[in-house]
Amino acid sequence: MAKKVLVSGGAGFIGSHIVDRLVRRNDMETLVIVDNFWTGLRENLAHVTDPRVHLVQADVETFATAEKFDEIIHLASPASPPWYMREPARTIKANLVGALNLVEMLNPGGRISFASTSEVYGDPLISPQPESYRGQVDCTGPRSSYDESKRCTESLLFELHRTAGIDIRIVRLFNVYGTRTRPDDGRAVSNFLSQALTTGELTIYGDGLQSRSWGYVDDIVSALERYFWLDNVDYCGPLNVGNDREIPVIDVARHIVSLVPGARLKLCPPIPQDPTNRRPDLTLCRKVLPGWEANITYEEGVRRTLEWFREAVVLKGAQTDAPSPVRLES
Amino acid sequence: MAKKVLVSGGAGFIGSHIVDRLVRRNDMETLVIVDNFWTGLRENLAHVTDPRVHLVQADVETFATAEKFDEIIHLASPASPPWYMREPARTIKANLVGALNLVEMLNPGGRISFASTSEVYGDPLISPQPESYRGQVDCTGPRSSYDESKRCTESLLFELHRTAGIDIRIVRLFNVYGTRTRPDDGRAVSNFLSQALTTGELTIYGDGLQSRSWGYVDDIVSALERYFWLDNVDYCGPLNVGNDREIPVIDVARHIVSLVPGARLKLCPPIPQDPTNRRPDLTLCRKVLPGWEANITYEEGVRRTLEWFREAVVLKGAQTDAPSPVRLES
């Protein structure tokens, strides 16, 4: 049966890559993309010409339609601290009120997939973090709108699964980087790359020894594609997805400095409540998605991203209002 | 200046006691009570005849008015596991979407006070729990709709305080019991009392050694009254409020058995994810509200509650639809 699919946040960094995978499907009748272009960019979908795709500019929490969907993939949310810390209430609305709105649009037997985050673990006291770890989030802190709205949206979906039998898929994404990150995204890799290509000064917050597990977007989206619709999996989540090679922020910066002539490090004061470490325990992921691995090394991922940034940042500039060939509705 | 005050959940167990304190105020012009009678009872306000009080039957998340308020006290939420586990999405809406709705009704410089919960600590690994403890909540578990929506509402309010300067007061209430608990509330003390007076069988889940810190409602509401409007406090929370005398559930049951002839214990299987212990660290509370103590012993509190239950449960039966002398709007 031909499926009706909805993706919220489909013009975003990860969302647009998900759209690229979705349009490969033969079993899909329509794909509705809902995005308000808060952090998403129209140009991320500029290459999409599939006539099944309909792009709607709307906030996910107030988006209304008479249609129902067989599969909903809820990605709408800023993911970078400077963005969600500026507009915390809006972040909570996108995640949680968005999910409350979307579940009403599911066809009977339909599935909702949700991109949660490793931020549900807060500043973890154990490493690597398995899905059973309950986390260490300060629910009164400056990062809490993101962390807590992801946690509460997980709760909503697991509880709707338990009480109403709704089919769900919940992933917890660890750090992702790659092409189509906004130059002004504010997270480490994209920051370093756009800084290397513009001012030349790569800003390190604190001692730079805080570590992250950098997952290249193609690897991560391959896991999502399998988990959200390709594989026949009997597990609704939560599922850690990421690269488990843990690298200090300063090492990534030094690597980029070595690639871009004239680039150099600039040390800045630490960011409040910046997690000191983050690394996925992928035991469950390897069982649920056998054969999947984050194979792209960070050296290779950084190379590809740098190439893309050279074109996007330096050659094209910020074409955030470029016209899109996909149909724009309401 | 005469204040316009709104209380959500004002027909509930704690809410109706808050209303009793509010109507003592001389500086209050109007008091709007919003309650949908999900767990609140009209009869809890049957004695309130103050003409300044307006009772509106509405869901807090969709309640609409052109009025603005100087003080909003957000208490709307079920607080007993069987109630919120049956309707998790509705619980999340009451707490979080309710708060999102209410903050839009604040006058400039207005204050919103919120009853959060010791459940934000989950099944704590330290005892007693100070406000700085980040908790151990399973955000995918059967109690999560309550725990996580309280956490996320805290986040929303602290973030609105940080980014928009909104005046907030956040308390984390530990176990509260007393008069005007629903006979079918489902939490330990009220369960034991209504069971003692009806079937005679007091149900103990698991070994009964899980401990709680039982705060009698008059004590707790005295702290809220001081913190929400009486005292001139320069601290927006979170503030633990409770009784720090920790007592195993089975001891309370045995005490009630000793008071009611014919009553006896009945052992039942444990409830999933029932916290093993819960005890407030009141260091901060004693500093912020000097002189306040939960003085009413549990023996005295149980005596008063038993007396009330005798009248409410045995003599009157469940008069949940008793007419109310306060004005009922829309």
Q: How far is B235 from chain A (nearest CA, A)?
A: 13
- What is the distance between the alpha carbons of residues B326 and B11, in angstroms, rounded to a whole number? 11
pLDDT, residue B315, reads: 64
> CB distance from B139 to chain A under 8 Å?
yes
pLDDT, residue A314, reads: 67
pLDDT at A318 over 70: no
What's the mean pLDDT in A203-209?
92
> CB distance from A235 to chain B under 8 Å?
no
Mutate to test the interface with B, among A59, A96, A152, A169 (most CBs of B within 10 A): A152
Contact (CB<8Å) A86/B156:
no
> CB distance from B137 to chain A under 8 Å?
yes
What's the mean pLDDT in A227-233?
97
Q: Each residue of A239-268: pLDDT tens digit? A: 999 999 989 999 999 999 999 999 999 999
Name residue A170's beta-bridge partners: A114
| Inter-residue contact A14 to A37 (CB < 8 Å) | no
pLDDT, residue B275, reads: 80
Which of B122, B138, B152 lies nearest to residue A149, judging by beta carbons?
B152
Contact (CB<8Å) A140/B238:
yes
Contact (CB<8Å) A136/B140:
no
Quick one: what percent of chain A has pLDDT higher than 90? Answer: 87
Contact (CB<8Å) A140/B158:
yes
Contact (CB<8Å) A156/B145:
yes
Dihedral angle of Cα B83, B84, B90, B94, to the nearest 10 degrees: 100
Highest mean pLDDT among A274-283, A300-309, B204-213: A300-309
| Inter-residue contact B186 to B196 (CB < 8 Å) | no
Q: Which residues of B touch A170 (CB under 8 A)?
A: 140
pLDDT, residue B120, reads: 97
| CB interface of B with A, residues 18-77, below 8 Å | none
Residue of B nearest to A135 (CA): B136
Which of A122, A148, A159 lies nearest to residue B152, judging by beta carbons?
A148
pLDDT, residue A326, reads: 42
pLDDT at A325 over 80: no
> CB distance from A117 to chain B under 8 Å?
no
Name residue A69's beta-bridge partners: A106
pLDDT, residue B330, reads: 38
What's the mean pLDDT in A163-168?
98
Residue of A nearest to B61 (CA): A97
pLDDT at A133 over 50: yes
Contact (CB<8Å) A162/B149:
no
Which of A89, A136, A148 lies nearest to residue B151, judging by beta carbons?
A148
Q: Each residue of A18-44: pLDDT tens digit? A: 999 999 999 999 999 999 999 999 999
What's the mean pLDDT in A100-123?
97
What's the mean pLDDT in A232-237?
96
Contact (CB<8Å) A139/B135:
yes
Mutate to test the interface with A, among B116, B140, B239 (most CBs of A within 10 A): B140
Helix A144-164, helix B144-164: angle, nearest 10: 160
Mutate to test the interface with A, among B155, B169, B273 (most CBs of A within 10 A): B155
Q: Which fold has domain B3-176+215-244+280-294+319-329?
A: Rossmann fold (3.40.50)
Residue of B nearest to A138 (CA): B134
Contact (CB<8Å) A159/B89:
yes
Of the residues B146, B177, B216, B298, only one is catalytic, namely B146
What's the mean pLDDT in A219-226?
98
- H helices present in chain B, as ranges: 13-22, 81-86, 88-92, 98-103, 144-164, 188-197, 217-225, 249-259, 283-288, 298-309
Please state the domain extents for chain B: 3-176+215-244+280-294+319-329
Give the residue with greater pLDDT, B272 vs A146.
A146
Which of A134, A144, A158 lies nearest to residue B159, judging by beta carbons?
A144
The ipTM assigned to this model is 0.93
Contact (CB<8Å) A154/B136:
no
- What is the distance between the alpha carbons of residues A81 and B242, in angstroms, rounded to a whole number? 35
What's the mean pLDDT in A188-192?
91
Cα angle B79, B185, B212 (rounded to 5 degrees) comes to 65
Helix B188-197, helix B249-259: angle, nearest 10: 30
Q: How far is A80 from chain B (nearest CA, A)?
A: 16
> CB distance from A284 to chain B under 8 Å?
no
Q: How far is CA A43 from CA A11, A317, A318, in A?
A: 8, 12, 10
Which of A139, A154, A158 lies nearest to residue B154, judging by beta carbons?
A139
Give the residue with greater pLDDT, A137 vs A330.
A137
pLDDT, residue A213, reads: 87
Q: How far is A157 from chain B (nearest CA, A)?
A: 8
Closest CA to B160 of B245, B242, B102, B228: B102
Which residues in chain B come in under a pLDDT of 70?
314-330
Indicate the average pLDDT of chain A. Answer: 93
pLDDT at A199 over 80: yes
- The CB-side HSE value for B235 (13 A sphere, CA atoms) comes to 16
Contact (CB<8Å) A160/B135:
no
What's the mean pLDDT in A282-310?
96
* Distance between first and last Cα of chain A: 28
What's the mean pLDDT in A176-193?
92
Task: Match domain A3-177+215-244+279-295+319-329 to its CATH number in 2.60.40.10, 3.40.50.970, 2.60.40.1730, 3.40.50.720.
Answer: 3.40.50.720
Closest CA to B117 of B165, B80, B163, B65: B80
What's the mean pLDDT in A43-72?
98
Residue of A nearest to B142 (CA): A159
Sign of CA dihedral A285, A290, A292, A293: positive
Q: How far is B68 from chain A (nearest CA, A)?
A: 20
